[in-house]
Structure 1
Amino acid sequence: MSETLFDPKMLEALVCPMTQGTLDYDAGNQELVSRAGKLAFPIRNGIPVMLVDEARKLD
């Protein structure tokens, strides 16, 4: 099965929808992490899901 990978260059155009802050790419978990918002947004089939309702809350 071939997995579509996220292109880290997309980080230049993406911000956290809640804080408008920067995001970090977590390749291991396939997530974009907003440290300010304490949220991790999933990446599905190479596409980041930038919905607060879909994000995982971080401690």
Structure 2
Amino acid sequence: MSDETQDTRIDARLLEALVCPITRATLIYEPDTNELVSPTTHLAFPIRSGIPVMLVDEARRIED
């Protein structure tokens, strides 16, 4: 399994502190895809090697 898809635990306190870089709204952790989802912007931010990548250019657009 590659580092990008490796399912690693992320600290709950870190998740509570992270917000969407666009809206500053709370993010939802999706363990199946190992991403942080912003429902408002329909973007999913990857978590790579246990580190959230909060760059809009790295986010995946979520289809409705």
Q: Same fold (TM over 0.5)?
A: yes
SS in 2 for 1:4: coil
CA RMSD of aligned residues (A): 1.8
- Partner residue of 2:37? 33
- Partner residue of 2:49? 45
Residue pair 1:6, 1:46 contacting (<8 A) in 2 also: yes
User: Percent identity between the aligned chains?
Assistant: 59
Gaps of 5+ in 1: none
TM norm structure 2: 0.81
Residue pair 2:7, 2:34 contacting (<8 A) in 1 also: no
Task: Provide, for residues 1-43 of structure 1, a one-character-per-residue CA deviation record: whole Å limited to 9, x for no partner.
Answer: 8863222331211000011111000011000000011100000
SS in 2 for 1:32: strand
TM norm structure 1: 0.87
